[in-house]
Amino acid sequence: MHKLILFVILILSIATYYFTGVGFAFTTTEQLIAGLGVGILLYLAGKKGNYQFTLAVLTFFSITLSLGCSFLSETIASGPFATTMTLSPWMILAIAGLISTIAWTSLDKFKHKDAFSGILLAVFTINWLILAVNVHFFEDWKMENWLTVPFVIIIYFTHRWFKLSNISYALIFIYMMLHIYGSHYTYAEVPAGFWMQHMFDLARNQYDRIVHFSFGLLLSYPLREMILRITNAKGIWGYWFPVEFVLAFSCIYELLEWAIAVLFGGDLGIAYLGSQGDVWDAQKDMFLAGLGSMIAMAIIACIVCHYKKSAFWSEMRDSLRVKHKGALGEVALERIAKE
């Protein structure tokens, strides 16, 4: 097993130990048992392979989070899926462990090349259904899913003729989990944001800022993959265009937020906008998305440079050279008219 996987297992086991104390109010002994159990689960998956390990991590922690949000305790819920049913913390961990085991062991049974992305889609669907229960503001949740559901459907129906890498699907999964977790509570009311606000003495719930930053950090690589395969962009343009797309999408989303807030108004418009009284909220969100994208592209550039140093710098220089000496504009128009 790769040393990096062992290191990740150690970090995630420690994180489980800590957050089961914060979220589940476990005693120290219970925290140790939970951390050890997660470590064993991930170790067994890691022995099978990198993809199995990735599925085990994403499935276990996403299911634990979703079940904890919807069924851990009584919540102020609305909508047709509100219920008073609760689950104990150990039951939540047991269910998450079972689904995670089914997910990563299924990868060996399904030999189809799309097995990883298909299992990940199934896990996301389970999470979405769980987080549809006991939502805090049902009308806002419906509005948030006007974008979520079509986005997932588009990815599903286009993957057969434009299949992304498993890395891209994993990154998209993480981002979409952050989104549906936020929409379960409304972004301004996410408990993780309040925990960070208390821990770091912040002025407001910063969860929405994290999601906007994650939009750039997590989705830039899938965008880069699409750009390189469609446009055959080289050198610096393969790193710059994803940043531009992220900034453009962020701008479009902020405009949609503004339009919806004006259209619906009242508590629903305020909940969807999630500005929490910050007049510069839209600008800060776009900045963080762009920053996340630039960090992601810097990381990718460092990785590529490490493995292909000479080719990397040669491609960078070539991408900045002028390929067509003739002017365009009116010159090109005159040439076209003559032809």
pLDDT (tens digit, 9 = 90+) per residue, 97-143? 999 999 999 988 887 777 999 999 999 999 999 999 999 888 888 88
How many Cα atoms are found within 13 Å in the side-chain-facing hemisphere of 338? Answer: 6
Q: Do 331 and 193 fall into the same domain? A: yes
Number of Cβ atoms within 10 Å of the Cβ of 86: 14
Q: Do 215 and 114 fall into the same domain? A: no
Q: Do 276 and 197 fall into the same domain? A: yes
Separation between Cα atoms, residue 29 and residue 7, nearest integer Å: 23
Q: Do 23 and 165 fall into the same domain? A: yes
Reported pTM: 0.92
Q: Do 17 and 163 fall into the same domain? A: yes
Specify whether the CB–CB gap between 285 and 213 falls below 8 A. Answer: no
Q: Do 40 and 156 fall into the same domain? A: yes
Q: Do 158 and 222 fall into the same domain? A: no
Domain count, the chain: 2
Q: Do 143 and 219 fall into the same domain? A: no
Number of Cβ atoms within 10 Å of the Cβ of 251: 15
Residue ending a domain, among 139, 163, 180, is 180
Q: Do 203 and 116 fall into the same domain? A: no
Q: Do 99 and 201 fall into the same domain? A: no
Per-residue pLDDT tens for 148-199?
888 888 888 888 889 999 999 999 999 999 999 999 998 888 998 888 888 8
Q: Do 195 and 141 fall into the same domain? A: no
Residue ending a domain, among 180, 212, 232, is 180
Per-residue pLDDT tens for 55-81?
999 999 999 999 999 998 666 676 777
Q: Which residue has the higher pLDDT, 247 or 256?
A: 247
User: 248 in helix, strand or coil?
Assistant: helix
End-to-end CA distance of the chain: 64
Q: Do 227 and 155 fall into the same domain? A: no
Domain encompassing residue 17? 1-180
Separation between Cα atoms, residue 65 and residue 96, nearest integer Å: 9
Residue ending a domain, among 180, 203, 227, is 180
